[in-house]
Amino acid sequence: TFHPAPMASRAPIWLVVLWVLATNIVHSVLISCIRGFSSGDGIHHHTINRNPLEQNMVLGSWHSHMQCLLASLAQYRYLQVHVMCNCATQPLPQGISRVLGKLQRSRISEVFALASFPPTWPYTDAHFQRHDSSPDSEFYRIPRLVQHIDDNAIAAIRSHYEAVLPPKADVLDLCSSWISHFPNPRIWQSGKCIGLGMNADELQQNVRLSDFVVQDLNENPHLPFGTATFDVVTCVVSIDYLSKPLTVLKEIGCVLKPGGLLLVSQSNRCFPSKVVSMWLNTNDAEHCWIIGSYIHYSGAFDPPTVQDLTIGDGDPVFMISAVRRNDIGGKSSLRWQ
C-alpha cells in the first residue's frame, strides 16, 4: 500500500514551481538546439538552402548557433506559455469543420468548392486572441537567422515563384525576414522589391530586398505605400499571426495594381503562442479555407485558389493565390471601408 510522505518532508510548493520552470527552460533550449542541426518537426529549423546569393549567411558557424541558442533562451516563455495558458480556441462557422475536418490531402485544392464562404464575415474578436498578447516587437526583438520551413518546402515555393512571377515585377514581401524565397536572380529578377517585417537586423541581411520597412501589422495594419504600387505581394508562412487580417488584406488590395497577384504560402509550422487562437484547433485544409476567407471578404480579389506544393515527406506547403480585381478602385473603395 502506498503511503504519502509526511507533509514536513515534502518539497515546498515554491521549489516544485521553480523545478518545473527550470525543466521547461532546459527542454525548450535543448529542443531548439537539436533542431538547429537537423530538419525535424521543429517550431523552426536551422537548416540552410545554399543559394549563391546567400552564401555569406550560411549558419555553419558556432557563432550563428550560439545566436540561435540566445534567441531560444530569450523566448523560452513564449514556447511554453501555450501549455500553461487557457486561451479558448474558437470554432469555425457551423458546418465548415464538419466538411473539412477530415479532408484528405489529395483534395486540398477543393476546399473552397466544398465549403463556401458565409454571406458575412464569420469571425469575432475571440477568434483572433493569442496565448501571448504581449507586444510582437518584444517577441521579435532578437534576430532569428533561421529557416522556419525545411529545404523541400522552400524549394517548392521557389519553384512556384519561378513559374508565376512576371519578369521585372515590383514586389512587396509581407512579413519579410532575412531570407526571401525568390528564384535565383539568374532566372528571375524583380523590379523594386520591398520587404515589410518586424526586425531591422534580419531585413538588412536580405540580399533580395531593394528596401525595407519595419512595421508591426498587428499594431498598425495600414501599409505605408501608395495605391497600385506593386505587381505582386507575397507572404510566406506568416498570415496566421495577423490579428487584423481583413484590414491587412484590404490594404494589400489597395497597394496591388489591378490584375496584380497575391501569393500566400502556408505550412504547419508556427510559434504556438503567437498565432491566432483558431489556428491551433484547425487542420491544413481549414487553414487554407481561413486564408481564402480573408481574401474573399476583403472584396479586392477574384476568387482564390489553393495548391498543394508539398515535396515528398518534407514540410507541407500550400499556396493560396488570388488576382486583384480590375473592377474596383483604390483607396476610396477599399482602404476606408
How does pLDDT run across 102-131, given as a tens digit for each residue?
A: 788 888 999 999 999 999 999 999 999 999
| pLDDT tens-place string over residues 276-300 | 999 988 899 999 999 999 999 999 9
Q: What is the pTM of this model?
A: 0.74
| pLDDT tens-place string over residues 125-168 | 999 999 998 998 888 888 887 788 889 999 999 999 999 999 99
Q: In angstroms, rounded to a whole number, what is the distance separating the alpha carbons of residues 187 and 324? A: 25
For residue 10, count other CB atoms closer than 10 A to its CB: 11
| pLDDT above 90 (res 231) | yes
| pLDDT tens-place string over residues 196-230 | 999 999 999 999 999 999 999 999 999 999 999 99
Percent over 90 (pLDDT), the chain: 52
Query: What pLDDT, on a 0 to 100 scale, did the predictor assign at position 42?
Result: 34
> Treating both helix axes as pointing N-terminal to C-terminal, what angle do 76-84 and 62-74 enclose, rounded to 10 degrees?
40
C-alpha cell at 63: 557563432
Q: In angstroms, rounded to a whole number, what is the distance separating the alpha carbons of residues 111 and 312? A: 21
